[in-house]
C-alpha cells in the first residue's frame, strides 16, 4: 500500500507542489523527541509511559481532523477517524474516489527505542503522493510529525495533541467537538 514513489525525479518542478502539500494537515507526518521513562513499574512511571505512547487519538494541527494511531504489525499506522464537517457537507474523498473516513495516511516502523522514533511514509489523500515521515511523542506528550521530500531537512513538522472526545463511526465531527483536546 505504501510503495516508494520517486518524487525527486522531476527536480525543482516537483518541489513547489510538495511544499504546498506540506501545508495540508492530513498530508504530513513528522519527527519529535521521546524520552522513555527509566522504569515503568510504578503507577507514576506507568502514567508517564502512557502519556508518551504514540497510540491513541490525535487532533491534527489544524484542528479539523482526528487520526487514530495504532499498532499495525509492529509498525505504527495513522488512520483518519474524524473530520470536522458542516452538517450538509459531503465526506471528502481521496484521489482514488474513496472516502477519507478510515483512510490510513501513514505507516511507520520503529527506528530506535530511546528516543522512540518511527520512520516511514505518509500519504496525501488529495493526490495519492507519498512522502517520507518521522513520528514521535515529545516530553510534553504531543505527537510531532514531520513530512518530507527525500530527506527530513526538506520538510515541515506539525504538532498534534491528544483527542479526548468520541469519534462517530461515520467520522463526522461537529465544529464544537474539535476543541476536545488537551
Q: Which of 89, 75, 80 is nearest to 25 (CA)?
A: 80
Q: Which residue has the cell 483527542?
A: 163
E strands, the chain, are 56-59, 65-72, 75-84, 104-112, 117-123, 130-137, 143-148, 155-162, 172-173
Number of H helices, E strands in the chain: 2, 9
Domains of the chain in sequence order: 12-179 (2.40.128.520)
pLDDT, tens only, 33-80:
222 233 334 445 455 555 678 999 999 999 999 999 999 988 999 999
Q: Which of 62-66, 73-77, 102-106, 174-178 is the least confident region?
A: 174-178
pLDDT, tens only, 15-30:
333 334 333 333 333 2
Q: Is the pLDDT of residue 10 over 60?
A: no
Q: For the whole prediction, is pTM greater than 0.75? A: no
Amino acid at each position: 500500500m505504501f510503495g516508494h514513489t520517486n518524487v525527486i525525479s522531476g527536480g525543482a518542478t516537483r518541489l513547489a507542489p510538495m511544499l504546498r502539500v506540506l501545508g495540508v494537515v492530513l498530508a504530513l507526518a513528522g519527527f519529535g523527541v521521546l524520552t522513555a521513562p527509566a522504569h515503568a513499574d510504578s503507577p507514576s512511571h506507568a502514567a508517564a509511559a502512557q502519556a508518551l505512547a504514540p497510540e491513541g487519538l490525535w487532533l491534527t494541527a489544524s484542528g479539523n481532523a482526528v487520526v487514530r494511531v495504532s499498532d499495525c504489525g509492529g509498525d505504527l499506522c495513522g488512520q483518519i477517524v474524524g473530520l470536522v464537517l458542516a452538517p450538509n457537507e459531503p465526506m471528502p474523498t481521496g484521489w482514488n474516489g474513496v472516502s477519507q473516513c478510515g483512510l490510513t495516511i501513514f505507516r511507520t516502523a520503529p527506528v530506535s527505542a530511546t528516543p522512540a522514533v518511527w520512520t516511514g511514509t505518509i500519504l496525501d489523500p488529495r493526490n495519492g503522493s507519498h512522502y517520507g515521515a518521522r513520528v514521535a511523542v515529545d516530553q510534553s506528550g504531543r505527537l510531532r510529525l514531520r513530512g518530507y521530500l527525500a530527506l527530513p531537512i526538506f520538510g515541515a513538522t506539525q504538532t498534534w495533541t491528544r483527542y479526548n472526545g468520541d469519534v462517530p463511526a461515520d467520522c463526522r465531527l461537529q465544529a464544537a467537538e474539535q476543541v476536545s483536546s488537551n
